[in-house]
Amino acid sequence: MNIQVTAPAVEQVQFPDFSEQLPQGVECVSRSKMDTTALEDGHVQLSQNLVLTSFADTTYFIRPYVLTPSGDTVPGNLCSLTILMPDSIEKMTDICDIKGIEDVPIWWWDIVKWIVLALGILLLGVGMYFLWHWYLRTRRPQVLTTKPVYTRPADEEALERLAIIGAEKIWQQGKGKQYHTELTDVVRTYIGRRFDVHSTEKTSDETLHAMKPLIDKELYTRLAQMLQLADFVKFAKYEATPNENEQALDTAYDFIYKTAPKQEEEKEK
C-alpha cells in the first residue's frame, strides 16, 4: 500500500503508525523510509510504501489517515484488499528421487487427427455463423427504432428525482444499497440524455472513460468517487458513513447543475 500526501512546504504532516489503523486480520510486514519530494508550486509530496499481509479469505476496506500539527485528521482514499486462498493443498506422502528426462516418440497421426478435427469444428462454426445471419436477415421483421421523446429537460427531471431521494433518506433506515442504486440511476439516466453516453448499459469504469473528455477534472474526480462508493456499497457490502451518503447526494446535485445546458440551448433543441 502506498501512502502519498501533498501539502504546503510549511505544513508539517505527521505520518502515524499505520499498522494501528489496519483492520483486524491485516498485518504490516514492513514499511519504507519517508520519501519527500519538493514540487514547483511550493508544495511537497510525502510518500511511504507499506507491505501488508493477511491469511483470511475475505475483502478488507482500509482508509488510512495522517495528522496535522493542529491535531486535524486527514483521511485518505478508501481502498480494498482482497485475499484469495487456494481451495486445498495436496501433500506428498512419499519422498521420491528425481527421475531423468524421458524421450517420448511423436505420434504424427495423433497430431494430424487433432488438426483435422479442429479445422472441421472451425468450418462448422463458420458455416453456422453465416447461416444464422442469413436466417436473421430473411426472417426477422424490420423494426424501426426511434429515440424516446421527452417532454421535460433532462436536468429538470433529474433534480426532481434527487429532491425525492434526498427527502426520503432511506439510508437512515438501513437501505444504503437501495439509496445508492437510486442515486446513481438518476445520474446515469441524466448522462445518457445530456451527453448521449448510455451509462445505464455501461460499468462505472466505462462511464468514467467516456465522460473524462466531456467534463472538467474536478467534476470528473467527484463523479468517479460517487460511482466507486456506490459500487462498494452495492457489490462489496460496504456500509457508507452518513457523511459519505450526504456527499454522494451533493455530488449528484453539483454534477447536474454544472453540466445542465443553458436555456438558449434548450430552446434551440
Sequential pLDDT tens for the chain (269 residues): 888 888 888 877 877 777 777 888 899 888 888 888 888 888 888 898 989 988 888 889 888 877 776 677 888 888 888 887 766 444 445 666 778 888 777 777 778 888 999 999 999 999 998 888 887 777 655 555 566 677 789 999 999 999 999 999 999 999 999 999 999 999 999 999 999 999 988 999 999 999 999 999 999 999 999 999 999 999 999 999 999 999 999 999 999 999 998 743 444 44
Choose the final residue of a domain: 82, 115, 138. 82
Give a yes or no: residue 119 inside a domain: no
Give a yes or no: residue 91 inside a domain: no
Are 43 and 101 a contacting pair, CB within 8 Å?
no
Give a yes or no: residue 17 inside a domain: yes
Question: Is 76 in the same domain as 161?
Answer: no
Give a yes or no: residue 167 inside a domain: yes
User: Can you give the pLDDT at residue 253?
Assistant: 95
Nearest to 62 by CA among 48, 76, 50: 76
CA atoms within 13 Å, Cβ hemisphere of 250: 8
Give a yes or no: residue 26 inside a domain: yes
Question: Is 162 in the same domain as 77?
Answer: no
In whole angstroms, give the CA distance from residue 266 to residue 269: 5
Choose the final residue of a domain: 32, 52, 82. 82
Question: Is 171 in the same domain as 255?
Answer: yes
Give a yes or no: residue 139 inside a domain: no
Choose the final residue of a domain: 48, 82, 116. 82
User: Can you give the pLDDT at residue 222?
Assistant: 94
Nearest to 215 by CA among 204, 223, 203: 223
In whole angstroms, give the CA distance from residue 44 to residue 58: 36
Give a yes or no: residue 94 inside a domain: no
Give a yes or no: residue 239 inside a domain: yes
Domain count, the chain: 2
Question: What is the domain extent for residue 232?
Answer: 154-261
**Can you state the angle between helices 242-259 and 176-195, rounded to 10 degrees?**
10
